[in-house]
Structure 1
Amino acid sequence: MQFKIGDLVVHPAFGIGHIAALEEKQFYHEGAHPYYKITQRKQSMWIRAEAQETSGLRLVTPMSELAHYREVLQSSPVPLDPNPQQRQMELVSRLKQGSFQSVCEVMRDLTASGWQKSLGQADTTTLQKTRDSLSEEWATAAGISATEASREIDSLLLATRPAASELQ
């Protein structure tokens, strides 16, 4: 997919930004290649145009698709691997896909896991980063604040939380 100047995009590691330019750049000892300049609040980054798909760069999810993602957040969670190292590798792999679907699924699954038992340090960190990323994109797509987006996401997740007696 070719992006246009002004497109609002999401990078899985760096979040939301605007396509500010498409320019020929030469980094290191490689020849010149076309790069997208993506501007964010406090930084700019360059993503090679030919590598946009492998980098996970994509357009911000349209508002019209949020209804589907509300259903994803309210759907049954997928149990996570009990082995902490394996679980982290799987979660990172899912998030590296860069899709909004995978972000919603990881949020749902980690949240549900935290209802069953306390999350460890790595899972807590992954959950917080996922929550921040999801809230930022949800807010952008819906045209609301990140705080409002977080409240809506939490409400959707809590609507499917089993009663305490069911967790044991």
Structure 2
Amino acid sequence: MTTRNNKLPFKIGEAVVYPSHGVGEITAIEEQEVAGFMLELFVITFDKDRLTVRVPLAKAKSSGLRKVSEPDVVTLALQILADKAKAKRGMWNRRSNDFQERIGTGQLTAIAEVLRDLNRGSEQQEASYSEQQIFEGALDLMIREVAAASRLTQTEARKLIEQSMAKAPHLNSALPVA
């Protein structure tokens, strides 16, 4: 294969984050003819979903494909989880769209903000079905990236994330007593 640019942003075997699917691994770089054009593609495998995605090298950056977060970004994301949730008012569909957009960026800190804002602590089961779905999806993405970035198992990463979320002051709790 001939790569015009010998300085590729990713290597085979490297863990990467693709916004809509989370953490995957670059398993190959291949050429493929698409609509009469030869394209060089990153082949990314997501074991959890048993999914393979091909991303053109030329579109890698604009697609949001990126390296797994550095330790300082993981630390910042865990700190965000421990902050007080930003109470949002307004219609659920607008808030839901905002949460989905933030998750769609694929940025660990944005995903942490969604978790923080949807975190209800011990009352998490009382969340609506759609709230719970968004929360679980964001949690799964964060667990996989924290595990990959920190070289932890997903169970260890979940525990770390849950510990951070448990530190957060909840909107329902700590009401001043008159």
TM bucket (normalised to shorter chain) is 0.7 to 0.9
Which residue of the partner structure matches residue 83 of structure 2?
75
- Show the counterpart of 1:15: 22
Deviation readout 1:85-140 (Å, 9 max, x if unpaired): 11111111111111111111111111149959932221110100111111111111
Contact kept, 8 Å, 1:112 with 1:161, in 2: the verdict is: no
The answer for the alignment partner of 2:154 in structure 1 is 146
Q: Aligned-pair RMSD on alpha carbons?
A: 2.7
Whether the 8 Å CA contact 2:84–2:169 is kept in 1: the answer is: no
The share of aligned pairs that are identical, in percent, is 23
Q: What is the CA-CA distance between 1:15 and the residue it aligns to?
A: 2.0
Q: Give the match for residue 25 of structure 1.
A: 32
8 Å CA contact 1:80–1:87 kept in 2: the answer is: yes
Give the Cα–Cα distance (whole angstroms) in 2 for the partners of residues 40 and 95 of structure 1: 18
Compute the displacement of 1:58 (Å): 1.0
Structure 2 counterpart SS, 1:13: coil
Kindly report which structure 2 residues correspond to 1:117-132, keeping only aligned pairs within 5 A, or say none.
118-132=126-140
Residues 80, 115 of structure 1: alpha-carbon distance in 2 compared, 3 angstrom cutoff: farther
Larger Rg: 2
Aligned residues: 167
Corresponding residue for residue 164 of structure 1: 173
For structure 2, list consecutive stretches of 5 or more residues without a partner in the other structure: 1-7
TM-score, normalised with respect to structure 2: 0.81
Q: Determine if the alignment matches structure 1 residue 38 to structure 2 residue 44.
A: yes
Structure 2 SS opposite 1:148: helix
Q: Is the 8 A contact 1:80 1:113 kept in 2?
A: no
Q: Which runs of 5+ in 1 are unaligned?
A: none
1:134 aligns with 2:133: no
**TM-score relative to the length of structure 1:** 0.85
- Write 1 or 2 for the structure with the bigger share of helix: 1
Q: For residue 53 of structure 1, what is the amino acid of its counterpart?
A: K
CA contact (8 A) 1:9 1:19 kept: yes
User: Partners of 1:141 and 1:114 in 2: how far apart?
Assistant: 28
Q: Which residue in 2 is equivalent to 1:51?
A: 59
Q: Equivalent residue of 1:55, what SS?
A: coil
Match of 2:5 in 1: none
2:175 maps to amino acid: E
Which structure has more RCO (C-alpha within 8 Å, separation ≥ 6)? 2
